[in-house]
Amino acid sequence: MTLTLVRFAHPNFFAVRGAYSARLFSTTRCVPYENILVSRPGPGVALITLNRLKALNALNAAHFNDISSALKEVDEDPSIGAIVMTGSDKAFAAGADIKEMKDKTFAETYMSNFLANWEVVSKLRKPVIAAVSGYALGGGLELALQADILLAAPSAKLGQPEVNLGVIPGGGGTQRLARLIGKSRTMEMVLTGRIVDAEEAERWGLVNRVVREEGGVVEAAVQMATEIANKGQVAVAAGKEAVNAAFDLSLAEGLRLERRLFHSLFATRDQKEGMAAFAEKRKPEWTHS
């Protein structure tokens, strides 16, 4: 059997492919973005890699426009069931590009509703997994916090140090952090600008888990995304909608929405197939309908 070493779009990430095994990775980019790489590391999975390496993936307007466009494209692609978003080994994203925003005025930021478009990740229908290595600071952490699942490498450093620049988080940091780790810890991070390491972030519940396995955080995220992509997309979308609603609705309203979504899935072909496959002790063949 012939083995071929396949280079993955993410730096330092390889896979061995056998002549008789299924193809594991494709490095074909969907569109020629300048600041990101887009690839399909497995069936039903899209990987978006932030690629402003010299700037530690600092998020300027052009960079974020690339990220936003790519996310919307893969979210609308019916062949994609889950999305992984990552950066480099040194930095997921070290924050917003301060040089680009330092001379902005109140009127300019207020009238343009500056940073309102940073909510793009939270509005996607497909599940998003953030795979964080190195620095995720300021806007970089705010971008990662919008993901549905956040995995961290042992090297991850997370923080909202905007207070050191005379401002506060403006892309959702104060709100999402408080919902994840509570008021006191959020106050500590926002008011002191303290950066927490991966171990502390895991203890606080800021990240799902720290990936210590040899394959690394991106491989773990791709494996999880592949598992999700192998489910029926209608049920996955409904599950994501129900969980997200828990942050906006009362318990009674959330339970009502959950039941309605549960009931509605009985109108799908996937529900019939999934339950039939279980009863017949076979794997389901999803049609995502």
Residues noted as catalytic = 96, 139, 142, 162
CA atoms within 13 A of residue 281's CA, in its CB half-sphere: 0
Residue 104 CA to residue 108 CA, distance in Å, equals 6
CA-wise closest residue to 74 among 225, 215, 286, 245: 225
Angle, alpha carbons 103-158-246 (nearest 5°): 100
CA-wise closest residue to 170 among 126, 112, 131: 112
Distance of CA 181 to the CA centre of its chain: 18
Packing angle, helices 233-245 and 251-264, rounded to 10 = 170
The torsion region of residue 182 among left (phi > 0), alpha (psi -120 to 50) and beta comes to: left
The torsion region of residue 2 among left (phi > 0), alpha (psi -120 to 50) and beta comes to: beta
Please report where in the chains the tokens 């070493």 appear, as a residue: 5
